[in-house]
């Protein structure tokens, strides 16, 4: 008799990130081949991609990717966007006519100019990025059945229910070229598998893929709500994306400090640090207590200026890194890197809590 395993699969989910640090754009076919090599880490309930540099003709506009459960939600979302922004272009997101993904919601993209910032007498003017965040949160919270799942400039998130290589074909990503790619194959453990809950999670130009479990989700969510972010996509990974935006864009923390907030050293390690380092580490843990991520995780985070890989502080989820020429690769498994780069110049396994960083052209935040 075959023995039945009753515990959860604790190593599921596949993540890939790759960046051309000289800004060279390359086809999505490369990242599809990489993520497809880890098919056994997924179960068909979620797959997705993020790509940077794909909209050069609309590079100065915010590209909103919107999914709607019904025609009524589509009308409501479109009306809101047209009343709020200057819509320079709108179309259905191209999809493969013979795709086997039949459960797709209505998928559209809008290229938008933000409204002029308004301010009351004596108050500071609202930053353009904060205006975008506020309206993304409004749509996702208040328009039933409509979700903005990508909202950056010259980039886009593409995701859905299926294996990642199926989602790549569904969105015809082999026809896109980008200098930075993320991909994810999902194996849901604690949250539902649905189109909005697939990875990556995006806000502005941030996109996040994650393997693991954020057991501090409740605390992180309440902390983010106090700062104007609202989690509506029913997956723990969503908090990571918003925390990076809060820490690095709004609070302007350097990457090393943001990593020390999200994956901080243990108190016992802090006690052994030199005095100046210990004081900073204590201050970050106290000030940003609600932002600390508990649980096992490996994440790859992309933005317009680069790529960041980060493990939890005890490295309970796998991550491999490699460089070859001007490329940086990050993946759950070494095989996913060698599938597209058989002989990298260097290959290593990053330490827990220590970020791996790739930069392209002028870095935005890192």
Q: What is the pLDDT of residues 43-63, one digit of tens each?
A: 888 999 999 999 999 999 999
Task: Break the chain into its structural domains and give their ranges.
Answer: 14-116+124-212+298-359
The mean pLDDT value for 72-87 works out to 97
The CA-atom distances, in angstroms, between 278 and each of 86, 253, 291 are 49, 17, 19
pLDDT digits (tens, 9 = 90+) for 6-18: 455 555 799 999 9
The mean pLDDT value for 156-184 works out to 96
Angstrom distance (rounded) from CA 336 to CA 143: 39
The mean pLDDT value for 146-159 works out to 98
Overall residue count recorded for the chain in this entry: 366
pLDDT digits (tens, 9 = 90+) for 296-343: 999 999 999 999 999 998 999 999 999 999 999 999 999 999 999 999
- The pLDDT value recorded for residue 192 is 77
Q: And the tokens for 35? A: 């993520």
On whether the CB atoms of residues 258 and 231 are closer than 8 A, the answer is: no
Average pLDDT, the chain: 91
The yes-or-no verdict on residue 118 having pLDDT over 90 is no
The owner of tokens 């220590």 is 354
- Annotated active-site residue in 13, 68, 231, 341: 13
CA angle centred on 235, ends 232 and 240, rounded to 5°: 90
pLDDT digits (tens, 9 = 90+) for 251-278: 999 999 999 999 999 999 999 999 999 9
Angstrom distance (rounded) from CA 293 to CA 216: 6
Q: Kindly indicate the confidence band of residue 4, based on its pLDDT and cuts at 50, 70 and 90.
A: very low
Q: And the tokens for 263? A: 């994956």
Active site residue 13: yes
The mean pLDDT value for 182-201 works out to 88
- The pLDDT value recorded for residue 247 is 97
CATH code for residues 14-116+124-212+298-359: 3.60.20.10
- The pLDDT value recorded for residue 1 is 41
């Amino acid at each position: 008799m075959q023995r039945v395993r009753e515990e959860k699969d604790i190593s599921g989910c596949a993540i890939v990130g790759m960046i051309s640090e000289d800004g060279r754009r390359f086809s999505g076919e490369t990242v599809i081949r990489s993520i497809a090599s880890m098919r056994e880490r997924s179960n068909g309930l979620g797959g997705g991609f993020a790509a940077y540099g794909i909209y050069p003709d609309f590079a100065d506009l915010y590209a909103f990717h919107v999914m709607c459960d019904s025609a009524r939600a589509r009308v409501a979302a479109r009306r809101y966007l047209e009343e709020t922004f200057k819509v320079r272009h709108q179309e259905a997101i191209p999809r493969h006519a013979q795709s086997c993904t039949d459960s797709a919601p209505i998928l559209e993209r809008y290229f938008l100019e933000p409204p002029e910032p308004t301010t009351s007498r004596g108050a500071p003017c609202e930053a353009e990025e904060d205006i975008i965040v506020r309206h993304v949160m409004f749509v996702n919270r208040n328009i039933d059945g409509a979700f903005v799942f990508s909202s950056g400039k010259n980039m886009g998130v593409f995701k859905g229910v299926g294996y990642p290589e199926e989602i790549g074909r569904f969105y015809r990503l082999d026809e896109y070229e980008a200098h930075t790619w993320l991909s994810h194959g999902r194996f849901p453990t604690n949250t539902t598998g649905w189109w909005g809950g697939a990875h990556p999670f995006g806000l502005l130009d941030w996109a996040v893929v994650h393997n693991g479990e954020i057991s501090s989700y409740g605390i992180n969510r309440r902390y983010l709500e106090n700062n104007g972010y609202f989690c509506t996509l029913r997956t723990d990974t969503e908090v990571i994306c918003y925390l990076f935006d809060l820490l690095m864009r709004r609070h302007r923390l350097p990457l090393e400090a943001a990593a020390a907030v999200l994956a901080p050293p243990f108190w016992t390690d802090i006690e052994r640090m030199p005095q100046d380092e210990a004081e900073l580490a204590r201050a970050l843990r106290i000030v940003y207590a609600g932002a600390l991520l508990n649980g096992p995780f490996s994440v790859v985070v992309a933005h317009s200026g680069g790529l960041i890989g980060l493990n939890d502080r005890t490295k309970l989820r796998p991550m491999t890194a490699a460089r070859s020429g001007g490329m940086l690769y990050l993946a759950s498994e070494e095989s996913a890197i060698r599938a597209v780069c058989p002989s990298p110049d260097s290959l290593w396994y990053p330490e827990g809590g220590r970020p791996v960083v790739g930069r392209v052209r002028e870095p935005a935040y890192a």
